[in-house]
Amino acid sequence: MRVGPATVRVCGLFSRNADPPTFPTTQEEFSMHIRIFRESFTRSALSGLLLGAGAAISGCASVGPASIANGRSVYNEVINSTEDEQLLNVIVRERYDQTFGMLTVASVTASIKVSASLNGNVGIGPTENYSGNLVPLSAGVAYEESPTISYTPLSGEMFLSRMLTPITLSQAQLLLGAAEDEVTWMRQLYRRVNGMDNPTDQATPATLVRFFELQAKLRHAGVISTGRTAESTPTEPKYCVRIRGYNAEQGAEVQEVLDLLGIKSIKADGREILLPMDINNGGAENATIQIQLRSALDVIRIASRTIEVPEEDTKSGVAPAITSPYEDENRLMTIRTSRSYPRNAVVAVPFRGWWYYVDATDTRSKRAFKILRLLVGLRMQESATDRPGPVLTIPAR
């Protein structure tokens, strides 16, 4: 059988502009050329697929490190921001005498999927049937990341105990070491020192403020240090204060500290002084520093008193009135309010039609919020690890 004059247009793999070859019109010759074309295209396509697969495989070698480099900072930033917002929401709800709940991020798991594809088009027959409609070669690589986030709700007896139990002396020392203004945080963390009360709703008494100032000064000078005694055990920790290496001028300040503590049996005569500490037990032994520390919830309540509550909420009774607000010099921080979203805020949360936020230009408030975040984080971490609770796992889409 013979075939009339025919032109076969072969779409090259890398060019659309190749001239169409014209060849003899016998059936055998036509079949031979088709077979040659198929074999040639198969070899070319196979080579392209192998090259594409090799590129995809080599690309996979860099996907893992790249996903860490690109994703870790993003996950960390989002988790950190939401932790700040959660804490601020707790402070605001405490000011309004409303219940609150907390979640801690238990884990973040991200699965990565990479796929590659390679496609080619060929046209056979009259050129006008496919001219301009074929893609000689197309390749693609798809990258997909599917994160799964697990939360642990903090609630129940263990969480309540952690929030209401006074912090430990070790935690207090860590927080004071992290604070830029040590005296300010002594006012927040210490409830009572040797009979000197530190009321939550009133300014710190002058004698207690003087004790805090002297303690901070002498500690920075290396005269006063706090540590565990040789008899201390993990289950029954025992602490003491060591005073040594003080000169004549510092000796007068050491003596003033002893007088403020009501310790009459010891004099600052240049010798080393060891003072046992009784923590949160209310002991009454002589020559002992008796300290009662506050709980995390106590400090949250103190912070809630610094909110600039909208006047309409105080007049209507929605927000309880505060009888003796802090003076400016005793104020831990300031949480401001705005009807619209505050543009210059480090953290902000909506509540009852208002935005509550910490201003980015308020250095004192930012530092206080940072230490408060560390304090609550310590208690939350203990509560989350003491007793495993239900875990809420949410695939992120």
Structure tokens at 279: 């923590």
Class of residue 5 by CB neighbours under 10 A (exposed 0-12, middle 13-18, buried 19+): exposed
Residue 48 is predicted with a pLDDT of 53
Angle between the 296-304 and 363-386 helix axes, to the nearest 10 degrees?
Answer: 150
CB atoms near residue 172 (< 10 Å): 21
* pLDDT tens, position by position, 177-194: 899 889 999 999 999 999
Whole-number Å distance between alpha carbons of 41 and 12 = 9
Q: Which residues contact 213 (CB under 8 A, 6 or more apart)?
A: 183
Across the chain, which distance is largest between two alpha carbons, in Å? 127
Structure tokens at 105: 């991020």
Q: Which residues contact 271 (CB under 8 A, 6 or more apart)?
A: none
- Provide the 3-class DSSP secondary structure of residue 80: helix
Q: Which residues contact 119 (CB under 8 A, 6 or more apart)?
A: 135, 137, 138, 139
**Residue with the larger pLDDT of the pair 53 and 209:** 209
Among 12-26, 34-48, 218-232, 317-331, which is the least confidently predicted range?
A: 12-26
Among 247-256, 281-290, 315-324, 344-353, which is the least confidently predicted range?
A: 281-290
Whole-number Å distance between alpha carbons of 246 and 222 = 9
Asked whether 131 and 11 are in contact (CB, 8 A), the reply is no
Whole-number Å distance between alpha carbons of 246 and 267 = 13
Say which DSSP state 129 is in. G
Say which DSSP state 394 is in. E
User: What is the distance between the terminal CA atoms of the chain, rounded to a whole angstrom?
Assistant: 62
Q: Nearest CA to 171 among 291, 76, 83, 77?
A: 291
**Phi and psi at residue 338, to the nearest 5°:** -155, 145
Q: How confident is the prediction for the chain on average, in pLDDT? A: 79
One DSSP character per residue, 40-53 reads: HHHHHHHHHHHHHH
* Reported confidence tier of residue 16, pLDDT bands at 50, 70, 90: very low
Q: Nearest CA to 136 among 118, 148, 153?
A: 118
Whole-number Å distance between alpha carbons of 210 and 255 = 13
Asked whether 239 and 230 are in contact (CB, 8 A), the reply is no
Query: What are the domain boundaries of the chain?
Result: 170-294
One DSSP character per residue, 243-304 reads: E----HHHHHHHHHHHHHTT--S---SSS-EEEEEEESS----TT-EEEEEPBHHHHHHHHH
Tokens 């300014």 belong to 203
Residue 4 is predicted with a pLDDT of 40
* Reported confidence tier of residue 54, pLDDT bands at 50, 70, 90: low
State yes or no: pLDDT of 14 exceeds 50.
no
Share of the chain above pLDDT 90, in %: 43
* Reported confidence tier of residue 33, pLDDT bands at 50, 70, 90: low
Residue 68 is predicted with a pLDDT of 65
Whole-number Å distance between alpha carbons of 54 and 45 = 14
